[in-house]
Amino acid sequence: MHTHNTHSPARYFMLKRDRGLPLKVDWLVPCGAKGSGQLVVTSADGSSGGFLDARATFTVNAACAAATCPGAKAAAAAPAAAAAASAAPAAKPAASPAASSTAPKAAAAPVAAAAPVAAATTKAATTTKAAVVAPASASNATVVPGCTQSAYGYSCVTTTRKNTKVHYSLGGATAPDNVCTRGASPAPPANAGQSMHFLYEGQESGWASAGFTATAGAMYPADVVLGYIDASGSPKVASYHLVSYEVAPEDATTGWAYSMGVVQQDGKTIVCFSRPVDAPAAKASPKLNLPGTQNMIWASSDKSRLAQHNIFGSYSPDLRPLVAAAAGDAARAAALSAAVPPLPAASDEDAAVARAQRARWAHGALMLAAFVLLMPTGILTSRHKWLFGDKDAGKIKGHWYHAHIYIQSLAIVLAIASTILIFAVFGRNRQRVSDLYTPHMGLGLFAVAAAFIQGFIGRFRPVIADPKRSAWRFLHYGWGWVIVLAGIANCGIGIALIYALQEDNLAYWVGPAAAVLGLLLFAAVPLEFVRAKLMRVGHYNPTDHSFHPKSEQSITPEGSYAPEKKQLVPNGAA
């Protein structure tokens, strides 16, 4: 980690594992680091061997840096000098050249000392974004009656039921000075004017995001800022315009958010940003509703990449008290705060996002039922119609036909309903979500349309004696197998796609699908043997549906079955 140009010497230490060889590590600690750090080391004993993992959490010792870092000795002596000054007021210690410019503020404001950054557990790779020091005092922000002040320098902070926190304030173009905004980019635009500043404290180590939605409780359309620390330790933060339930790199936007930053503390990601009240580049929120109620959303994940969120919520804070306080009208701000809290308790359940997740599950379940269960079952019903044979009548009863029609009709209805559901919830413009989306949509639409056409083909079945029956049978049977194989293949693509989007447990989808196909195969194999035997001995003819399981039969030249004629009286007998 390279926050400053000057570092303490590399410190060598050893991580001892419970078994096997120890791991040896060289660690370079920046002079400005405070709190504690966690080191995780992963290696392997070969290209095909198992992984070795070791981790250690340790406190950064200020005395260690004081021995070598320029100016650190003076900084380390400052507390002692301060104690001497309290005992002898006449003795005023000189300012340390290494001291932070915010140190006098922190000393003057006890609120800053209680900030979560003061005892932060900071990942080494994440300090490239900002030095881990105490945030600016909240006393610099506009005081809003009835609003809990933020330790990060914002006017208000709210804590959700998931213990995530949203900090916000209204003011000029400059964002509050804190661990997240130091080094944030881009710089405030010259024409920013009145702006709002936000900081979102997530509860997970992956990405964190907050922003503005056009419709209360809806995830899109929306303008959000999302940030995370990637696997290499580099901070990644950008603004996005959401047009669906997923976000892709192509959704990144510019021109409406500035002073964007991201850091990690205690294994939790913090993202911050500012935006002008008037920002035409923000497509979903070109102008904040001031004074009034602003629709906002937030989310976080344990994944350090664009993936499904684990925690999310939406809320609509009443910003009128904040506006009144920023304008210097303390009386009006107090009156408004008494009537309407600045930020109601944030909801941890975004109905729109939950509905999208349920829609994916329903879509997948319906398609699996249609193409993996019902359609193969309908094929077995038709192929093994001899199970419905009437030995007394010598033919196959029509029950198989009705069962086949009902099963396949139900499968087609489920497939069409599943298609309508997914397009109604997500729309058509989903190509950017995943590379699997386009083939999944294309193959799925083909399978559903082909199944619908197959229903019409079945309705125009010629009678058994019609010469066209053979051609129809070839078309109907062949087309049916194409539909089923395409549907099953597309279900596999869909399972991979839903895993890519939501990271559902694959066993939840692969298990039931494999079990159903396995049971159908288990039933089909013995049925095929019985069918072949019945045809071989002449008890069943699939062409004319004749069925004589207890009579000896022979095949006529035309391919139909007829009772074998036996000589009852020997030759020459009277």
Q: Predicted confidence band at 353 (pLDDT cuts at 50, 70, 90)?
A: low
Residue 72 predicted with pLDDT over 60: no
Catalogue the long-range contacts made by 277-280 (C-beta closer than 8 Å, 24 or more residues apart). Answer: 277/193, 277/194, 277/195, 277/196, 278/193, 279/255, 280/256
Comparing CA positions, the residue from 556, 401, 409, 411 lying closest to residue 463 is 401
Alpha helices in 283-398 (DSSP H): 320-326, 330-339, 351-368, 375-383
CATH class of residue range 133-349? mainly beta
Alpha carbon distance 377, 122 (integer Å): 58
What is the distance between the alpha carbons of residues 185 and 272, in angstroms, rounded to a whole number? 10
Q: Any idea which of 178-182, 251-255, 509-513 has the lowest mean pLDDT?
A: 251-255
Q: Kindly report the three-state secondary structure assignment for every residue of 47-71.
A: CCCCEEEEEEEEECCHHHHHCCCCC
pLDDT (tens digit per residue) in 304-340? 787 767 777 777 666 777 777 676 666 665 655 555 4
Q: Looking at the domain 355-555, which fold is it?
A: Four Helix Bundle (Hemerythrin (Met), subunit A) (1.20.120)
pTM: 0.50
Give the pair of three-digit tokens for residue 47.
């290209």
| pLDDT of 268 above 60 | yes
Q: What are phi and psi of 40, to 5 degrees?
A: -120, 125
Query: Structural domain boundaries of the chain?
Result: 11-105, 133-349, 355-555
Q: What is the pLDDT of residue 20?
A: 46
Name the band, by pLDDT with cuts 50, 70 and 90, for residue 297: confident
Report which DSSP code applies to 224.
E
Residue 86, φ and ψ in degrees, nearest 5: -70, -30
Q: What's the pLDDT at 79?
A: 44
Please report which confidence band the pLDDT of residue 555 belongs to, taking 50, 70 and 90 as the band edges: very low
pLDDT tens digits, one per residue of 372-422: 999 999 999 999 999 998 877 788 888 999 999 999 999 999 999 999 998
Q: Binning pLDDT at 50, 70 and 90, where does residue 62 land?
A: low
**Out of 66-75, 147-156, 388-397, 402-411, least confident range:** 66-75
Q: Say whether pLDDT at 500 is over 70.
A: yes
**Over 80: is that where the pLDDT of 520 sits?**
yes
Out of 192-201, 342-351, 475-484, the most confident range is 475-484
Which is it for strands 389-390 and 195-201: parallel, antiparallel or unpaired? unpaired
The answer to whether residue 436 scores a pLDDT higher than 50 is: yes
Q: Check whether the bond before 291 is cis (ω within 30° of 0).
A: yes
Closest CA to 175 of 275, 282, 321, 318: 275
Question: For residues 404 and 289, which has the higher predicted lDDT (pLDDT)?
Answer: 404
At 28 the pLDDT is 59
Under DSSP, the state recorded for 112 is H
Q: Which residue has the higher pLDDT, 277 or 554?
A: 277
